[in-house]
Structure 1
Amino acid sequence: MKLDYSSFKGLEGKIFSFFFFMVVLCFPFQVHSSETYKKIVEGMEPQSITIIGESQQLPESIQFFQGLISSYLQQGKCLAVALEIVSIQQTILDQMVEGRTIKSDIKLPPMIEHTSYRSLVDDLVIMKRRGHCLRLIAIDAGGLNVNQDKWMAERLAKQISQAPILALLGNLHTLKKIGWNSSIGKAFPYVAEILSSQGYRIKTYPQIRQDKACNTQNRLISSDEQKIATLLNRSVISLLNAAKYETVNNVVDGVILWECG
């Protein structure tokens, strides 16, 4: 049987995707629940935005996100991936795909500047080069004199299409509703709350560590479980001058909980 170049290129892309997926799943220090991937992927539909929260500077948060991308792309569908790269660098990101720039040309904000994040960008570029239907979107406001969350929400909304959007943002950006204490005056909403209030189809999943010294496996806790309110209050709301949650059905769609094996 004779294979033409386009057939070989498609086969090469599938082989790369398989090995990329296996490397993420078999990373020796972590176990990612296939059930967690499955539940999140099922909600990634056309015209939708899914935000995965990140415990920033932690490699396992990035590796989970990589595995989720691979899990979705195994279906042979298209996906848009949004990252907290300054949006004015979109051209540089596009040039990376074309092989005209390298990953060191991308300037990352200090909060996400680490090896795992740069590896994520590089791996996504390689996947796109190898034929996967993938768009990479830079959405961070950077040094622009604008409200950060409003800017990112607008960038995401403009990219909505048949291909669902999967974004990796800090955990606070995943909250669809916050009961700010009146003592601080008017507070600006985060990305998820802005998009949700505008009627967009959005699902959010912050990542929470049960024990900061131990992050070897994860599981998805649904928003209707009582435990989730306690987790959010302790790990996220405790950082804000806001009322604690009693229920979180309209706040997040679930929590990716990291715990000891």
Structure 2
Amino acid sequence: MFSGATCLSNDFADIEHNIKPGNIVIIGETHQQPESPRFFKGLVEATIAKYQCVSIGLEIERDQQAIIDDVMAGKEPASKIKIPFPIDHAGMRWMIEQFAELKRQTPCLRVEAIDADQDRDENMANRLADFPADKPILVLLGGLHTLKKVNWTVRSGKPAVAEILANRGFSVKTYPQRWLPEKCTSDQGRISLFVSASDPEALPILNQTLMSLINAKKHRAATDVIDGLVLWKCKGEKV
């Protein structure tokens, strides 16, 4: 299921250009979607081809780092890693196994567990802030963690990983993936499409599929919230 190459319908040069030393690039996902690990693996491979090294951050609790290191060293299978149920799926573990194969060819590749069991966004931001800035940093998180600005309507609202880092002066680039529509017919499959945050269609997608999930006001512009969107459309539908 996961061995084939991701079907990319266009050039993702904007994302690849920003994956470089000095930037923290966060790719957002809806967890357990099969296209996401293939797409993220493709970005990792493109980064290795250009820079050799890359630091990868995953939404896995830090106490799993030792077992992840063993997986990267070929000592344990990815099935040994404890991954939260809402995030875990076969594609995630396949992706981690693929990173282990890449590490055998590129020793400076690093896979880091950055999550915590409380104050998650703050803790993940702190961990990413400690990543070496002289290597590209590529992170895969749930889509809401990619928001660089949220106008909360409740006092309990807290900034996401991207906003915390941006407020501290880090160069953060974020690209949430969205699946539109949520379901395709069983034989359709999906194709990908890049939408820049400055494109007119970015704002309604941002407001209707991300901001609508939390107690926050709709944005008037997408450019100060995200840098772009990766859309997964059903094959045969208009894009």
* SS of residue matched to 1:160: coil
Q: Distance in 2 between matches of 1:44 and 1:191?
A: 17
Q: Distance in 2 between matches of 1:207 and 1:42?
A: 18
Contact 1:73 1:132 in 2 (8 A): no
1:258 aligns to 2:232 (yes or no): yes
2:124 equivalent in structure 1:
152
Q: Which digits, 9 at most, give the CA deviation of each residue in 1:90-115, with x for residues without a partner? A: 11111222233221221001111110
- TM, length-normalised to structure 1: 0.84
1:114 aligns to 2:89 (yes or no): yes
Q: Distance in 1 between matches of 2:201 and 2:113?
A: 34
Percent identity of the aligned residues? 38
Give the drift of 1:185: 1.5
1:65 equivalent in structure 2:
40
Q: Aligned pair in 2 of structure 1 residues 228, 138: CA closer, same or farther (>3 Å)?
A: same
Instruction: Provide runs of 4+ in structure 1 moved above 6 Å.
Output: none
Give the drift of 1:258: 1.2
Q: Distance in 2 between matches of 1:218 and 1:152?
A: 28
2:192 equivalent in structure 1:
218
* SS of residue matched to 2:11: helix
Contact 2:27 2:176 in 1 (8 A): yes
Q: Aligned pair in 2 of structure 1 residues 50, 76: CA closer, same or farther (>3 Å)?
A: closer
What amino acid sits opposite 1:46 in the alignment?
P
What amino acid sits opposite 1:99 in the alignment?
G
Rg larger for: 1
Contact 1:82 1:139 in 2 (8 A): yes
Give the drift of 1:34: 5.1
1:24 aligns to 2:5 (yes or no): yes
RMSD between superposed Cα atoms in Å: 1.7
Q: Which digits, 9 at most, give the CA deviation of each residue in 1:198-255, with x for residues without a partner? A: 0001100000112112351111111111211100111111111110111011100001
102, 109, 117: which is aligned to 1:127? Answer: 102
5, 8, 11: which is aligned to 1:35? Answer: 11
* SS of residue matched to 2:96: helix
62, 66, 73: which is aligned to 1:98? Answer: 73
Q: Which ranges of structure 1 fall in alignment gaps of 5 or more residues? A: 1-19, 26-30
The number of residues matched between the two structures is 230
* SS of residue matched to 1:74: helix
2:169 equivalent in structure 1:
199
